[in-house]
Amino acid sequence: MPRPIIIDTDPGQDDALAILLALASPELDVRGITCVAGNVPLALTSRNARIVCELAGRTNVLVYAGASAPLERELVTAEYVHGKTGLDGYDLPEPSMPLAEGHAVDFIIETTMDSAPGSLTLCALGPLTNLGQALRQAPEIGPRLREIVLMGGGLFEGGNTTPSAEFNIYVDPEAADLVMHCGAPVVMIPLDLTHQTLTSDAIIADFRAMPNATGPATAGLLDFFERFDVEKYGSQGGPLHDPNVIAYLLQPDLYGGRHINVEIETGSALTRGMTVADWWRVTDRTANVLYLRNVDVAGYWQLLKDRLSQLP
């Protein structure tokens, strides 16, 4: 039986590729996509998620709009990375499929409560506001989840939004704090890992050469997305963060990490959203996260290419 998942997301080019990877994978049953404000405001993330479903030929996927701002903070967006629309880099048609009726948070709660305990996985690719709100309204969903797999945080790489914080956690640290202690097994995919999965000219050329519509669209999105980080880090390519969440579900053997304690800084202005990760186990705080640090980079790109070549 395919594994049931909800994808919570703020597309974003890298979110878009994560969604495509999931929709191309028969091992996964995408029960719904819940959108949150993050890279760009909610109106755009909920538009972009539908554009991506239509690119994949999956107009039947339920796409919900969720939180338009973090639990307790002003929204911070990242158009400087993702462009004005969040999906700059390739001209894709406006979506014709409608948003699903209802709120993303209610959908998360209802789907979790209606699923067998320990069966539903939540894949979080953006700020954790929808999940945080769901946990506030219905804390009983935490222990019912099979797993929460999230892209966010970092230790060895520092932050990408402030010196100490990664974007998704920085935007809504209170929500991240709730997630870290919700009773679900949490798998964390930090910058320490995603900064290894860099794009390259050769990889982008492989996508561009695919004989379907998805390949060239992917190449355009990647071209645009990498430009910011290539300039920032002086690297050959840009880190493709979010598809790691889906790739981990499909091929966990590509990944390695440790069970450690991670706490979220919510008090300090200077280190807001820092993921205080006890990698060296120097405290006696209880491990609450599987912190992934290693990835088989070639295997990751091969998986993405194989699966996206199957799409329309």
Catalytic (active-site) positions: 241
Closest CA to 187 of 240, 260, 111: 260
- Kindly tell me which of 66 and 126 has the beta carbon lying closer to ligand BDR: 126
Q: Distance between CA atoms of 301 and 307, rounded to whole angstroms?
A: 10
Closest CA to 211 of 304, 301, 87, 308: 308
Q: Is 125 in the site for ligand BDR (CB under 6 A)?
A: yes
Q: Is 195 in the site for ligand BDR (CB under 6 A)?
A: no
Site string for ligand BDR, 168-187 (x = CB under 6 A): x-------------------
Minimum Å distance from CB 116 to ligand BDR? 29
**Options 9-17, 210-218, 255-263, 286-294: segment touching Ca ion (CB under 5 A):** 9-17
Q: Distance between CA atoms of 203 and 224, rounded to whole angstroms?
A: 14
**Options 3-11, 213-221, 229-237, 281-289: segment touching Ca ion (CB under 5 A):** 3-11
What is the amino acid identity at position 173?
A: P
Could you tell me whether strands 186-189 and 255-260 are parallel, antiparallel, or unpaired per DSSP bridges? unpaired
- Kindly tell me which of 154 and 257 has the beta carbon lying closer to ligand BDR: 154
Q: Which of 66, 126, 142, 190 binds Ca ion (CB under 5 A)?
A: 126
Closest CA to 143 of 82, 184, 190: 184
Query: By beta-carbon distance, which residue lies closest to ligand BDR?
Result: 167
Q: Is 125 in the site for Ca ion (CB under 5 A)?
A: yes
Q: Is 167 in the site for ligand BDR (CB under 6 A)?
A: yes
Q: Distance between CA atoms of 99 and 141, rounded to whole angstroms?
A: 24
Q: Distance between CA atoms of 144 and 121, rounded to whole angstroms?
A: 10
What is the amino acid identity at position 219?
A: A
Minimum Å distance from CB 25 to ligand BDR? 19
Minimum Å distance from CB 39 to ligand BDR? 5
Q: Is 166 in the site for ligand BDR (CB under 6 A)?
A: yes
Q: Is 78 in the site for ligand BDR (CB under 6 A)?
A: yes
* Measured torsion, CA atoms of residues 93, 80, 248, 153, in degrees rounded to the nearest 10: -150
Q: Distance between CA atoms of 27 and 251, rounded to whole angstroms?
A: 11
- Kindly tell me which of 157 and 174 has the beta carbon lying closer to ligand BDR: 157
* Partner that binds at residue 206, options Ca ion, ligand BDR, none, CB closer than 5 to 8 Å by kind: none
Contacts of 168 (CB under 8 A, 6+ apart): 38, 124, 125, 126, 127, 128, 150, 151, 152, 153, 176
Q: Which of 15, 147, 192, 229 binds ligand BDR (CB under 6 A)?
A: 15
Tokens found for residue 250: 């499909």
Q: Is 263 in the site for ligand BDR (CB under 6 A)?
A: no
| Residues forming the site for ligand BDR (CB under 6 A) | 12, 14-15, 39, 78, 81, 125-126, 151, 160, 166-168, 241-242
| Residues forming the site for Ca ion (CB under 5 A) | 10, 12, 15, 125-126, 242
